[in-house]
Every structure is written in structure tokens, then in C-alpha cells.
A and B are shown apart, each in its own frame.
Chain A
């Protein structure tokens, strides 16, 4: 049921292409075209859903694997000779269970394991407000983010998605236009910005701290249609990813991130500010490194 596409459709590259289109539309003659940008935002949403789903499935699998390994290690640490028979039985069962589960988790091709992880993914997705996908068992391999097509999302309406994600206002996905790497920012801090221990997903009540709300659009913010459009994208869709992209470790790349949401800094910028002004030192210094990122919604 997946439509075969001629080119490999990488959700991540679609996101970056779409953001570039939105960015370029700001400088197009005749003003921002509402219709075209609305259509681009649909592609962005679709690509993002696929990307989140793949990312989450991978992260969940890694998390499950680690938990299972921890349990197995703990069981192995106990001296088997000290246990009575019953405990030994339980222990063996537990070991078999966790190893079996571990194996199935490690092998997505296994139907049982896949079904389990699918159930987990679906449950977790529901909890997190993502639209449930019908066939979570088709989650991609951890290292492979490519998908030819997205699966049908029955409840993936634009506004519903927005409403669902409003519950979770502490995480945003950012895109580096230079490297086209998608990173997750949580609670206002990039993973790399924090010291040693990255906060677990949803487990710590981090102070929101930095401003998350970045307005999409342009520096020209007073017109009805432009301000409407920026307001439409004002509430960045939050997504829940517990870890940043593990490949993204170079914090100096943060300085290369550019913000296209200049109207969020309207107090600092003139109306006709171009991109260089948006990245002015003043703006950057006062709002922190991560806010220079482009927020994908």
C-alpha cells in the first residue's frame, strides 16, 4: 500500500527542502503566498510525522534494549547458588523472558517482537499525542531513516495534531540549515548545552527557561495576512523525543544555525531586517544559543 516513489524520499531532506521554500517565499515578489505555504506546511507535517515515528521507534528500541540489558545484568549479578529452587526457576524464566524479549526487540523482523514494540510504540505515541500509526510494526531500522512513503495516518488532521501537541510544550525540533541535521531541543536546552547528565524524557521538571515560541514567517509582522500566518505557526508543534540526535555532538555548530523567525525578535530588529541582521550578535547573545535554531513545526 506504500506508493513507490521514483526517488528515495528522505523525511529529513523533505523537511529541510520545505523549510527552505518557506524561507524563500518571504523574499518572493508579490508577498507571501498563503496557498503555497499552506501546501508546503502539509508536506512538512507529513515528513515530520514520518521522521518522528522512525526516530521514536529507534529510540524506544534502544531504550528497551538498555532496560532489558540492565535487568539481565542485575539478575546475573545475584549468586545463583544462594537462591532456592523457586527463585531459580523464576530467575530462569525471567532471564528467558527478558532475553527472549531482548532478542525480539533486537530483531524487528520477528513478528512477535515487532508486534510488541508496535504496541508499545502505539501506546507511547498516543500518550505523547502523536497520531497513532496503523502499522507500527513497519518501523524502520534504527540506522535507516529512509521511507518511501508515509503510512496512512487516519487522524492526522492539521489542527488536531496541533491541539494534541499543545500538551507538550517543552520540546522542539530544530533544523540546522547548514548541515541539514535535525536536533531535538528540550526544555529550552540543547542536549549539548547541559552539563553531564541529559535530562530524561519527561522525568524532570525543568524550568522552561528560554523562550520556545518562535514565530514563523518574516520580519514584516504587522500586516493582517502576514501576522495571521505567523500566528498560525506561532505555536510550534511540540514533539516528544527523549534524546537528541546522537550524531550531533559539535556544539560549535550551534553558531551556524540561523533563525528565520525574525518577528520573534521584533523588539530588536527593524521591519526590513535581512537575515544577517536577524543573526545579530545582540539578538543571539540575549536569547541563547538554541533559539537561533529553526523550529520545525
Chain B
């Protein structure tokens, strides 16, 4: 590939949807055997016919969450097998400028294992539901990862020196016979090959009866919340044997249950404010200063249902699958099955903006219900400047909406359709009438290829997109 000499700003483009997105690298699980030794992540080598013809992905390799850290230097993925893989951005190097922006595997560890709750005869899945990074405070990196029941704090640190010259044991660790020691020496630190190790520093368990769907680190960097279907719990990062329940929507009589909590997030700046979304399509903003139990919201965001679109599946498609504060803290974004909505925190009765992600699916809800796709939980993300929002769809499509220009684009994350370093071509779904050459009809969409998880670099136009067991990293070449 030719090295690009185009200038690159670090700020967002004027129109995020007109950016030229190119594929930086792609990681696939499992790695084919002949490449596992190499750290080369150039897609030219990965993209060969062997992989295309033999896809050995198992369900455990399906990526279930992706998250950039707050500097964008690290990218973490979690999968259904309970593994976390952390990628690190290639450092800028004058000799190889084209490699800037590529991510390499930095650390891999098993975060959660399958468990069996003997008391309840329940198997607890090891699938990583969410990963959230803590802002970096020292040389080590910290992240929270969670499955359905347990949150863990992981420390990822580098070791490039080790002490050598002990007196009582030799360098291999064998105990020396004291009678053979004739002189004493002071151990010194000697350089060694860089080793990245991950250790579990805290385990926050036994606080959730229902399935954890989200975690969120507070801006005070001391607390975080974990959320299940009916409750939100507040933890101190240092204390694992206690948590405070701050929201509980479990009715006294479970027969009266009408909604569950689907996601919760702390406000990015106000450490006393958090929001949680519900399966009924509403969002509640809560202030922890008002009461110990934040069952009473201070703001309630809901758009009345349009009776003309009522169907058997109205409740399902209005359930919110993800809620995200904008970086500036003034807006909320929610994702339901067919739309993304941006809410102004000052306006509760209707969203500021509504974007149709794939409205052509509205007529297919019955079959999507039968094959369970209607329950897919898509996530949504803001870009660093809150001007562009992105979310996934089917057929490995993902969509970007520019809030200023009102333009949108559909892109595809797939091996077949993207050559390394080539600019992604916008895709279009044909909804009726004559299908143009490059368009794809609704009936040809592959509903097994869904993009549920995406993340956007906090400062630059670099995005990571998870497509089943593949991780794609794209960057904007135009701007």
C-alpha cells in the first residue's frame, strides 16, 4: 500500500459523513495458525483465501463489547468466552509513518469464567457485557469488566525490568543452599523483554439478582454504578464487600412488572447525576443528592407513542437498548430498535433529533420477531466533538449521522468489500422499486451479520467496529 501523505488534523471533520474512512486493520478470532507468531496486523496478510474459505469462529469468539480508553491509546474488546483483548496504538515513528494509527495486541487475559450458582441451579455466562476504562492516573491502566453477575477491576501494567541477583535463590528461582553462599550482593533491576500483565485487583460480586446490563465510572473516579434489570447499585472502587442500592424498580408484586432498566450511565461532569433508560422507551435523570434511594427522578424523558404505527411489536421496538451522554454533558442519545434519538437535557417531552437507522425493517418486524433479531441490542456512540453519532445495523452495515449537516452515510465492515487502505464506499439499501446496481435489497440483507458494538476514539476520527468475531478499525483519511 502506498503511504499516505495527506495531512491529518486531530480534530473532527466539518462533515463527518463525508470523511473518507479507510480500514486500518482487522483482527479476527481465531487467528490462523501461521500468523499467530507475527504481530503484523496488516490486513494484506490476513486477507487471504484460507480465511475466507474456512471460518473457524466459535461462539466464544464473538465480540460482545468494545471500548476506547479516555486517551484513545488503548482499545479493549470483550468476547462471549469471557476474554478481554486490549490493543495499543502504534507509536508514531518517523521511519514508518504509515503505521501510525494501527493498533496491535497489547494484552490478552481471561476476565470471567463460566460459573454455576448451586443455590439457584443457574449457569452464569462468562460473556463480557461491558468494559469501562478508568482514566489513567499512573503508569498502569485500569478497566472494569462485567458479566451478568460480577464486576471486576483489572490492572494492566508493563514489566520491562526484573530484579536479579538474589542471595537466597538463583535466577531461575531455585533455592540456594545457604552453606554455599560466601558473599552477599544487592539485587539489581535488569531490563527484560516487555511483558504486559493483567491482574484482577477487585471483584465486586453478589450484588445483583438479575442480569447486569451496564456499568459506568463516575467522574469523581472513586465510584461506579452497576445496573441490572431492576436495580442500580453504587460502588466505591476500593470497597468490594458493600454496595449501595440507589434505584430499585422492582414492584412489590412482580405481577405488576411493566418495565425493566436497560442501561444506566453517569453524567460525564456532574458526579451526582446519572441517567437510566427503560424497556418502555423512557429515560430518567436522577440526582443522588436528593435522596438515598433515587426512585424519584428529577427529569423524565419520553416521547408519546405515535398511534398510527401501533403494532403487535410496538413495545419491543420502543425498548431502549443503549443510552449515552454526549461528551459535553448537554445531550443524551438513546437507541431503540429502529431509531437513534438525541435528547436535550432541558427538554423532556420529546427528543431534539430523531434518526431512522433502518426504517425499512418496519415491515419485517414479524419475521424479525420469529428469528429473535428484534431483540438485538444495538449500541450508539458520539464522536469526540458530539457532532456525529454512529450506530450499527445488519449485513455488517453501520451508520453515521452528522448532526449539523443532517447528512448520513451507511458503511460496511466486511472482508470482501474492503481492501486495506482503500476508502470505504457508502452503501445503500434499496427499499422499493428498481434496485440500482450498487444497492442491496432489503430481502438480501444478512441478519446474522449484525454490528451491535462500536466505539469512537475520544479525540480523533478513528472508530472500532465489532462484526461478530472480527474487529475492524477504521480511520478517516480525508480529514
Q: Chain A: residues with CB nearer than 8 A to chain B?
A: 1, 3-7, 9, 14, 17, 21, 29-31, 33-36, 38-39, 42-43, 46-47, 50, 149-152, 157-159, 162, 220, 222-226, 228-229, 231-235, 271-272
Q: Are B312 and A220 in contact (CB under 8 A)?
A: no
Knowing A35-B262, A149-B312, A225-B210, say if A17 contacts B369 (CB, 8 Å): yes
Report B353-405 residues with CB < 8 Å from chain A CB. Answer: 362-367, 369-370, 372, 375
Q: Which B residues are CB-close (under 8 A) to A158?
A: 258
The smallest beta-carbon distance between A240 and chain B, in angstroms, is 20
| Assembly CA distance A21 to B369 (angstroms) | 10
- Within 8 Å by CB of B308, from A1, A7, A150, lies A1
| Assembly CA distance A231 to B253 (angstroms) | 8
Knowing A5-B366, A228-B254, A231-B255, say if A34 contacts B210 (CB, 8 Å): yes
Q: Which A residues are CB-close (under 8 A) to B259?
A: 38
Q: Are B315 and A33 in contact (CB under 8 A)?
A: no
| Assembly CA distance A34 to B249 (angstroms) | 13
- Asked if B257 CB lies within 8 Å of chain A CBs, one says yes
| Assembly CA distance A36 to B210 (angstroms) | 12
- Within 8 Å by CB of B369, from A33, A43, A152, lies A43
- Asked if B211 CB lies within 8 Å of chain A CBs, one says yes
- Within 8 Å by CB of B258, from A46, A159, A231, lies A159
Q: Are A223 and B120 in contact (CB under 8 A)?
A: yes
Report B426-477 residues with CB < 8 Å from chain A CB. Answer: none
- Within 8 Å by CB of B211, from A9, A30, A162, lies A30
- Asked if B58 CB lies within 8 Å of chain A CBs, one says no
Q: Which A residues are CB-close (under 8 A) to B293?
A: none
The smallest beta-carbon distance between B339 and chain A, in angstroms, is 15
- Asked if B56 CB lies within 8 Å of chain A CBs, one says no
13 additional contacts (CB under 8 A) given A5-B365, A17-B370: A1-B307, A3-B310, A7-B367, A9-B366, A14-B312, A30-B122, A30-B127, A30-B148, A30-B211, A43-B315, A46-B314, A149-B312, A234-B255
Q: Which A residues are CB-close (under 8 A) to B253?
A: 231-232
Q: Are A43 and B313 in contact (CB under 8 A)?
A: yes
What are the 5 A-B residue pairs with the smallest beta carbon separation, nearest first?
A42-B315, A228-B254, A30-B125, A232-B254, A223-B120
Q: Which A residues are CB-close (under 8 A) to B211?
A: 30-31, 33-35
Q: Are A5 and B258 in contact (CB under 8 A)?
A: no
Q: Are A232 and B309 in contact (CB under 8 A)?
A: no
Q: Which B residues are CB-close (under 8 A) to A228?
A: 250, 254, 257
Q: Which B residues are CB-close (under 8 A) to A235?
A: 255
Knowing A43-B312, A220-B120, say if A232 contacts B365 (CB, 8 Å): no
- Asked if B260 CB lies within 8 Å of chain A CBs, one says yes
Q: Which B residues are CB-close (under 8 A) to A29?
A: 123, 125
| Assembly CA distance A151 to B122 (angstroms) | 40
Total chain B interface residues with beta-carbon distance under 8 A: 47
| Assembly CA distance A270 to B312 (angstroms) | 37
Give the interface centre of B119, B122, B125 by most chain A CB atoms within 10 Å.
Answer: B122
- Asked if B328 CB lies within 8 Å of chain A CBs, one says no
| Assembly CA distance A38 to B254 (angstroms) | 11
Q: Are A3 and B210 in contact (CB under 8 A)?
A: no
| Assembly CA distance A226 to B209 (angstroms) | 10
Q: Which B residues are CB-close (under 8 A) to A225?
A: 209-210
| Assembly CA distance A50 to B307 (angstroms) | 16
Q: Are A38 and B279 in contact (CB under 8 A)?
A: yes
| Assembly CA distance A7 to B372 (angstroms) | 16
Q: Mark B167-211, 1 if CB is under 8 A from A, else 0.
A: 000000000000000000000000000000000000000000111
The smallest beta-carbon distance between A43 and chain B, in angstroms, is 5
The smallest beta-carbon distance between A26 and chain B, in angstroms, is 11
Q: Are A3 and B375 in contact (CB under 8 A)?
A: no
Q: Are B366 and A3 in contact (CB under 8 A)?
A: no
The smallest beta-carbon distance between B171 and chain A, in angstroms, is 46
Q: Are A159 and B316 in contact (CB under 8 A)?
A: no
Q: Are A46 and B363 in contact (CB under 8 A)?
A: no
Q: Are A162 and B255 in contact (CB under 8 A)?
A: yes
Q: Are B254 and A229 in contact (CB under 8 A)?
A: yes
Knowing A34-B229, A223-B122, A228-B254, say if A6 contacts B315 (CB, 8 Å): no
| Assembly CA distance A19 to B118 (angstroms) | 28
Knowing A30-B148, A229-B254, A231-B255, say if A5 contacts B121 (CB, 8 Å): no
Knowing A30-B211, A38-B279, A42-B315, say if A3 contacts B255 (CB, 8 Å): no
CB-defined A-B contacts under 8 Å, sample of 24: A5-B311, A6-B363, A14-B369, A29-B123, A31-B122, A31-B123, A34-B229, A35-B319, A38-B279, A39-B375, A42-B315, A43-B313, A43-B315, A43-B316, A43-B369, A50-B312, A150-B310, A159-B256, A223-B119, A223-B120, A231-B253, A231-B255, A235-B255, A272-B121
| Assembly CA distance A43 to B365 (angstroms) | 12
The smallest beta-carbon distance between A286 and chain B, in angstroms, is 25
Q: Are B307 and A30 in contact (CB under 8 A)?
A: no
Q: Which A residues are CB-close (under 8 A) to B315?
A: 39, 42-43, 46
Q: Are B258 and A157 in contact (CB under 8 A)?
A: yes
Q: Which residue of B lies closest to A11 (CB)?
A: B312
Q: Which B residues are CB-close (under 8 A) to A7?
A: 366-367
